[in-house]
Chains A and B, each alone.
Chain A
Amino acid sequence: MKKFTKLTSAVVPLNIENIDTDQIIPARFLKATTREGFGENLFRDWRYNGDNTPKPEFVMNNPTYSGQVLVAGKNFGCGSSREHAAWAIQDAGFDAVISSFFADIFKGNALNNGLLPIQVSDDFLAQIFKAVENNAKSPLEVDLENQTVTIVETGAQESFEINPYKKSCLINGYDDIDFILAQKDLIEEFETP
């Protein structure tokens, strides 16, 4: 799994609420049997017209915006359990997603792939959108060790929560299977009536 420690980057703002996993990656693109290549279809139907020409009004098609951090409205990732949503976001070059609220399964899927979901307050989310509105290149600093996110230009900072176990997984790049396999004796003991 990809390691995550710290990053400073401009952000891609997507000020829409309830962005579901069918928007992130529509079902018709779930036919691949590997984890790679989903990035080109990230937000497919918002990003491209039916004839595959880019929709200029969509933020990812606007060269003004770029960066490793996606910032979106509340209840991000609701809907289906498709991990392809996390893979697509990561494959498109994002390392963190910020929202004021995440759907459970998406959040778990993101963490299991080294894509950091950062839940901030409504107020802090509004501050980020404001900062990007004033300066599209406004950088954001994400520090996983200290669990903080900072709007560099204003100095505004907020801490975020993360399960300590998942935090160490991200920092070290290891995953749950290694952890559970180390306890195989306990599992077999549990199975014995």
Chain B
Amino acid sequence: MMSKTLVEKIWDAHVVKSEEGFPDILYIDTHLIHEVTSPQAFDGLRKRGLPVFRPKQTVATADHNVPTLNQLQPIKEELSRYQVDMLTKNCAEFGIELYGLGHPFQGIVHVIGPELGITLPGKTMVCGDSHTSTHGAFGAIAFGIGTSQVEQVFATQCLLQSKPKTMKIEVNGTLEKGVGAKDIILYIIAQISAAGGTGYFIEYAGSAIESLSMEARMTICNMSIEMGARGGLIAPDQTTFDYIKGREFAPAGEEWNKALAYWKTLYSDADAKFDSVLTFNAEDIAPMITYGTNPGMGMGIQEHIPATNAQPEKEKLSYQKALDYMGFDDDASLIGKPVDYVFIGSCTNSRIEDLREVADFVKDKRKADNVTVWIVPGSKQVEQQAINEGLDKIFEAAGFQLREPGCSACLGMNEDKIPAGKYCVSTSNRNFEGRQGQNARTLLASPLTAAAAAVTGVITDVRELLTPLAP
């Protein structure tokens, strides 16, 4: 039998039809939807007089546009309220399960899928959101689609897709204390650029990846799109199975045994051919921070901003524009630079493990006076768990504001925006111009680096604040 990569195994198991000169018709197991990219797709169905073909394979939540304070009050902003109401109406009309505001399962679409056991190894999953790659952490083919494709999946439970090229990124070795999954992925993107993965599906592998928790693996896969890749995934292993077992919609009983037997076949064969292979050492990775306006513009926190003159000729103009926007100079160090906001949240870093790590670090510490700190849990379940574990008390004592679940300040769409000109150390995924609010300046970093900035009020190398391990 021909050896296959993990992507090929899952892909081939979902091809309804493959014909020369046409993209494959790919069957989609699970379709996640939210309020922003679905209304025009529902409208399209109405115009065509079509139902949703497999409503039971579709799950909806409201996340992008929701406020993160007083969520049970009517949404103040009229257009946001209308969009969220429209989702409720559309889901009712087309028979789709909705975890809307007030529901105990509500949350960021890429946080709730995994925590409810909807995200499973070997599945094909799509959502009208580029960070759908998050679900790849379970060994699923998961990717973001546009609204026309949302309509396509509604109408047919299939997508026309050309088989992607495959890339393997291996990270081997042991991470230094204070360095985590977010640093790994920011490091990889800085190495291969914001376009370095375009056209590929990436499989992350190697000992450093295998040693990560599911939450950390989700952080890595989440940002695959930030190097242009369609998706990223990690072969499922015992860590994956342990995470899934017992979750709300996970298979149980005999179904579990059957599923597990299949999941254990989901790995790239030893001699499978990837179109590209890259290898990195975990020991080379420091806490990372971005200094520019795309996620590829990142560096180790102790490094200096690369000089404009060192950039390729045709990229100089764009590079200078980015530094001007950020208010940074060539060769500058960011250490000690005052920050105004710290945002800990988004589909990249809003899971319980992220909140625990931050709470553990800020226990008995207090935020600096010049910083506003927002902690936005990824879901109602994460929020509840944080409260159950008493993390809310730690945050309160530190002056960190624990808000309600949603996409929040990741994308400057809802009420949570960073004011113009202000610097925000953010655990989200994009530092584009205006991403967090008009003229807001975003520095992407890990939850620990963000928490360190919150406590000191300036960009800080978190390694210097961590207590050395007892001998």
Stretch from B78-86, B104-112, B348-356, B386-394 forming part of the interface with A: B78-86
List, sorted by A's number, 16 A–B pairs whose CB atoms are closer than 8 Å. A16-B321, A17-B315, A18-B195, A27-B435, A30-B36, A33-B43, A50-B438, A78-B195, A78-B228, A78-B294, A79-B225, A80-B430, A109-B146, A179-B160, A180-B156, A187-B16
Judged by a CB distance under 8 angstroms, whether A91 is at the interface is no
Judged by a CB distance under 8 angstroms, whether A95 is at the interface is no
Interface 1/0s, chain B 397-424, versus A by CB < 8 A? Answer: 0000000000000011100000010000
**Of A33, A73, A82, A176, which one neighbours B82 at CB under 8 angstroms?**
A33
Binding site for B on A (CB under 8 A): 15-18, 20, 22-23, 26-28, 30-35, 45, 50, 73-75, 78-84, 86, 101, 103-105, 108-109, 112-113, 122, 126, 163-165, 175-177, 179-181, 183-184, 186-187, 190-191
Judged by a CB distance under 8 angstroms, whether B205 is at the interface is no
- Whether the pair A45, B156 counts as a contact (CB closer than 8 A) is no
From A45, which residue of chain B is reached at the shortest CB distance?
B434
Known: A18-B318, A45-B433, A81-B146. A164 touches B21 (CB 8 A): yes
Q: How far is the CA of A190 from the CA of B147 in the complex (A)?
A: 25
Min CB gap B223→A, angstroms: 12
Judged by a CB distance under 8 angstroms, whether B265 is at the interface is no
Q: Which residues of A contact B321 (CB under 8 A)?
A: 16
- Whether the pair A112, B433 counts as a contact (CB closer than 8 A) is no
- Whether the pair A180, B411 counts as a contact (CB closer than 8 A) is no
Q: How many A-B residue pairs have CB under 8 A?
A: 172
- Whether the pair A86, B156 counts as a contact (CB closer than 8 A) is no
Q: How far is the CA of A101 from the CA of B314 in the complex (A)?
A: 14
- Whether the pair B43, A34 counts as a contact (CB closer than 8 A) is yes
- Whether the pair A176, B160 counts as a contact (CB closer than 8 A) is yes
Min CB gap B432→A, angstroms: 4
- Chain B contact residues (Cβ within 8 angstroms of A): what range? 35 or more
Min CB gap A103→B, angstroms: 6
- Whether the pair B230, A104 counts as a contact (CB closer than 8 A) is yes
Docked complex: B422-471 residues within 8 A CB-CB of A: 430, 432-435, 438-439
- Whether the pair B25, A101 counts as a contact (CB closer than 8 A) is no
- Whether the pair B199, A104 counts as a contact (CB closer than 8 A) is yes
Q: Which residues of B contact A32 (CB under 8 A)?
A: 79
Q: Which residues of B contact A180 (CB under 8 A)?
A: 25, 152, 155-156, 158, 160
Judged by a CB distance under 8 angstroms, whether B206 is at the interface is no
- Whether the pair A16, B318 counts as a contact (CB closer than 8 A) is yes
Judged by a CB distance under 8 angstroms, whether B166 is at the interface is no
Q: Which residues of B contact A50 (CB under 8 A)?
A: 420, 438-439
Q: Which residues of A contact B438 (CB under 8 A)?
A: 26, 45, 50
